[in-house]
Amino acid sequence: MNDPNWGLMAKKDRLTQRARILTEIRAFFVGENFLEIETPQRIPCNAPELHITPQSCGKWVLHTSPELCMKRLLSAGYARIFQLCHCWRAEERGSKHLPEFTILEWYRANSDYTQLMHDCENLLSYLVPTKQLNYNNYQIDITAPFERLTLEQAFANFAPTSMQQALADNCFEEIYSEHVEPKLGTIKPTLVYDFPASMAALARVKPDNPLVAERFELYIAGVEIANAFSELTDQHEQRQRFAAEEQQRCDAGLQPYPLPEPFLDELENMPPAAGIALGVDRLVMLLTAAEDIAQVVTFTPEEL
């Protein structure tokens, strides 16, 4: 008889912690009066986004995020909702990416992204009672308030060029990933906020500056954990932005997608709201000191 699968046995401690973390996430949101929601994972279309490729599934696709269905629930009067589910993004595989991964999304009606920043602080301190996280040789203090930094300020602090220059030179991602991201969230978690409007297809722009979107990302130990924004609720503007995103996809030689018409129709009834997506596998990595996402899931695609 052969030995049992050692690789799988070796994950047991982290998978046990993962189960506990999922239970605590649910307990946290139930305690905050959120309703746990499940939405279909196979859908006719996602929000068109240039840099996200959905996985086909028959004539439909697997959702890349439950966002559109969650917002339809907001439009129907569900004011505080959360979902824990699997999402699929084709061809994304690295030490912190899986093509099938676990997402936590939560939405609040009559709120904006600043409330979600507080939610992040409260959720993390709920999950880390010691208020200290050790990851990547960093000791991170989890007590609120977290560090808040505009994206422009983060570039000014850590990058050799300004954010505007990096965008103009078409090397934003390279500079952000090389110089800025590794410095974020190394003492306390960092909330990087206010992204260029062009980088947030579903976010509301700031009332006093249409070039900046009310979007933030949460970083801990240089790892991006969550992405949030004040939701765009203007039906016509959302339609125009989807059309622009579609045009960019076509220009890049990608196939066009059908538009999510029921979502666009019902957006008319959506209250001001804010929503956030958090990478659960990465959160488990941080809380269990795992260097690779493969250590915190039962099977990677390569292990099937």
Q: Which of 100, 147, 152, 224 binds another protein (CB under 8 A)?
A: 224
* Span of 19-27, 93-101, 116-124, 131-139 interacting with another protein by CB under 8 A: 93-101
Residue with Cβ nearer another protein (81 or 192) = 192
Residue 228 CB, shortest distance to another protein, in Å, is: 11
CA angle 60, 64, 65 (to 5 degrees): 120
- End-to-end CA distance of the chain, in Å? 21
Instruction: Tell me: does residue 97 bind another protein (CB under 8 A).
Output: yes
Instruction: Tell me: does residue 249 bind another protein (CB under 8 A).
Output: no
* Span of 2-10, 38-46, 142-150, 230-238 interacting with another protein by CB under 8 A: 2-10
How far apart CA 198 and CA 205 sit, in angstroms, is 10
Q: Which of 36, 141, 169, 174 binds another protein (CB under 8 A)?
A: 174
Footprint of another protein on 127-166 (CB under 8 A) = none
Residue with Cβ nearer another protein (133 or 159) = 159
Instruction: Tell me: does residue 42 bind another protein (CB under 8 A).
Output: no
Residue 67 CB, shortest distance to another protein, in Å, is: 12
Q: Which of 26, 55, 86, 92 binds another protein (CB under 8 A)?
A: 92
* Binding region for another protein (CB under 8 A): 2-3, 6-7, 9-13, 49, 51-52, 91-97, 172-174, 176-178, 181, 195, 199, 217, 224, 227, 252
